[in-house]
Homo-oligomer: A and B are copies of this chain.
């Protein structure tokens, strides 16, 4: 299992490198951030990737710790008493194998250790699920901001030649379900009878290799997807502008509040113009500039500044600094 952990760790590092490269590339590629699936405020594509990078570093920490937790051995006999061999032999054998002797054991190493391992793999799987789900969301036809790599000449769909489907990401999303199911089975394996019953064994023969193989496949496939994914900055810009500026309403709200308008009053003014922009398909900023309630408090130049993308994104470099320098990997 240690070798399998090492492989997972290596591939986690590989994915991190791929993520970092694309994050730097798109550090300042603006796009709309979405909460609840709905446009929220501007961000950059690189920021999404920075978040992935930081989460992968936590996955590495979890898998590394789990690797250490399972790197124990025991040679203390049928019930853990060293009845037939002294502890010194256990120490020698463990040293040879690069293991720590478990301080105490029954017939077997206790399965809370394996539970920790399978949990770490399942959580790493859910990280990849989240990232793959992101790409699936951005590849929806109407959004079209990112696409999985699609080899020239590759068929998209047997029946529908126009389609380019994020099937790699969909597979990764599915496989995460297997990993958490396996972790659930691992949790059940800990409570063995007395000095051990062997019920855990048939379970582990399935879940341990399956989880390692599945996660490693996910990591390798997703690394290729990240390295090769096609990003459409024009489409990101187009989508960002699609809502005619209402994504800056939070800034306007705050600017009004900062100038002494009650939050409730400011909310009403902003929402009223946002709804008009939405329903009448008009530009939000122009509506605000034409609303005397607003302009009485917020001079036109300040309205303009509230719509300044660079102003919104001025802390991106700071975040990159925190993620890529401060997070030890």
Contacts and interface: CB of A to CB of B under 8 A. Distances in A.
A191 B126 contact: yes
Nearest to A161: B271
Contacts of A36: 136, 163, 165-167, 170, 193, 196-198
A191 B81 contact: no
A29 interface: no
B141 A140 contact: no
Interface string A34-76: 1111111111000100110011001100100100010000001
Contacts of A37: 136-137, 139-141, 165-166, 193-194, 197
A251 interface: yes
A167 B198 contact: yes
A257 to B, nearest CB: 10
Q: Which of A82, A201, A277 has the most CB of B within 10 A?
A: A82
B77 A34 contact: no
Interface stretch (A10-18, A238-246, A291-299): A238-246
A143 interface: yes
B142 A239 contact: yes
Given A40-B79, A113-B58, A170-B36, A183 B193 contact: no
Q: Which of A51, A113, A251 has the most CB of B within 10 A?
A: A51
A79 B251 CA distance: 13
Contacts of A286: none
Interface in A242-265: 242-243, 246-247, 249-251, 253-254
A127 interface: yes
Contacts of A250: 77-78, 83-84, 159-161
A43 B81 contact: yes
A274 to B, nearest CB: 4
A134 interface: yes
A272 to B, nearest CB: 9
Given A171-B202, A270-B161, A133 B193 contact: yes
A216 interface: no
Interface in A125-180: 126-127, 129-130, 133-134, 136-137, 139-143, 155-157, 159-167, 170-171, 173-178, 180
Given A35-B194, A81-B312, 9 more contacts: A35-B79, A35-B157, A40-B160, A55-B110, A83-B311, A115-B123, A123-B187, A126-B187, A160-B249
13 contacts: A35-B157, A80-B319, A104-B322, A140-B143, A141-B243, A159-B250, A160-B253, A161-B253, A171-B202, A177-B184, A177-B185, A177-B189, A180-B188
